Amino acid sequence: MTDLEDYRKELDALDRELVALFEKRMQLSQAIGNYKRAHDLPIFDESREQRVVEQNLTHLKSEEFAVQTHHFLDTIMDLSKEVQKDIRAAANDYEQIFAIHEPKQQAQIGYFGETGSFCEEAMLDYFKEAPVDPKNYHTFESLFIGIQNGEIDYGVLPVENSSTGAISQVLDLLYKYGLSIVGEQYVKIEQHLIGLEETSLDQIEEVYSHPQGFQQSTDYFKDHEQWRQIPFHSTSDSAKMVKDSGDVHKGAIASRRAAAIHGLSILAESIQNQSENTTRFIIVGKDLESNPRCNKVSVVFSLDNQAGTLFKLLRHFARYHINLIKIESRPVEGEKWEYLLYLDFEGNISDENVHEALRFIHRSSVYFRLLGCYIAATENK
């Protein structure tokens, strides 16, 4: 009777054969990868891959191992594609992704909104010394264009709120204009209903605000459904507009600081749904900047539309002992059912484990861009 040691010896011999066959298969995958790169062919051919797996399963003598064999063949296919993606990534000059630039000195700063906006507050908190003649913009996109055209070096704008989630338009503009995140700042947000000094609540007919102001204050407006909610550029722009209108029937959602700046009265205090309402602001610029103190990384990428792709990618973060902070998806403009994935995680791009994780994302992605490596902000309590 064969004992355990005999079984193990037989397995060892089979493993040696498998390693030799596996090495030969990877060499063939490299050759195929070079051919596909030279002829600009896609790495993934779903119909062929499925056909190959099905054909190989017909050679299985025992259906008992059909599930395990299918998994084995899928894994072999995935590893072959990784080899081909490494070749494609090398051709795309992967190291250029990490081209670091020095921070600009005496930079011109821009922010979203009118004087008194929460963005201006975030700007003053982040840039410890008050920027000289900061420039304000009344739309998110005009701020991005201002950086692209060299009007300003850095811009400050909101990207996420603790109660309403990501501000999707800002994520879309990061992708569209190819800017980098160089820093972030948290600001606790208290929304107030404000109006002219002579205005009372029972006179209000219209309220102006950035859509985020309305979204953060839905509970308050349930009791005032007769008021028209009119979206405007920003909460601070809304405050200025109400002041300039001189109309006692108009109100705005804005900060206490905006009310003081524009000589308005607070008609209702702290109307936001959550008392701990906080917005995360990002500081964006043209170039990637980083230093050894940076401890947060942001990337955007897209993947092949096939089952299990995202899972296979994300499991590598556990392998590299990297803490994921957030993942957000956004549809790709003009592409049906195609998505961009925005990912934040802890680390520095000079860390070996982070570098390897980024290399893996890069070679596994249809599209990839490193958005930034910066110092994570702490929330003000």
- Cα(234)–Cα(9) distance, integer angstroms: 73
369 contact partners, CB below 8 Å, separation of at least 6: 97, 175, 178, 299, 300, 301
Q: Of these residues, 118, 281, 345, 368, which one is catalytic?
A: 281
Q: Which two tokens stand for residue 20?
A: 């030799």
Q: How far apart are the C-alpha atoms of 325 and 299, rounded to whole Å? A: 12
281 is catalytic: yes
The backbone torsions φ and ψ at residue 24, rounded to the nearest 5 degrees and listed phi first, read -65, -40
Nearest-10 crossing angle of helices 66-91, 352-364: 100
Query: Do the Cβ atoms of 208 and 235 come closer than 8 Å?
Result: no
Active-site annotation holder among 112, 144, 235, 279: 279
Reply yes or no on whether 22 is catalytic. no
How would you write 116-159 as a 3-class SS string? CCHHHHHHHHHCCCCCCCCEEECCHHHHHHHHHCCCCCEEEEEE
**Contact in structure between 76 and 24 (CB atoms under 8 Å):** no
Q: Report the residue count for the chain.
A: 381
Active site residues: 279, 281
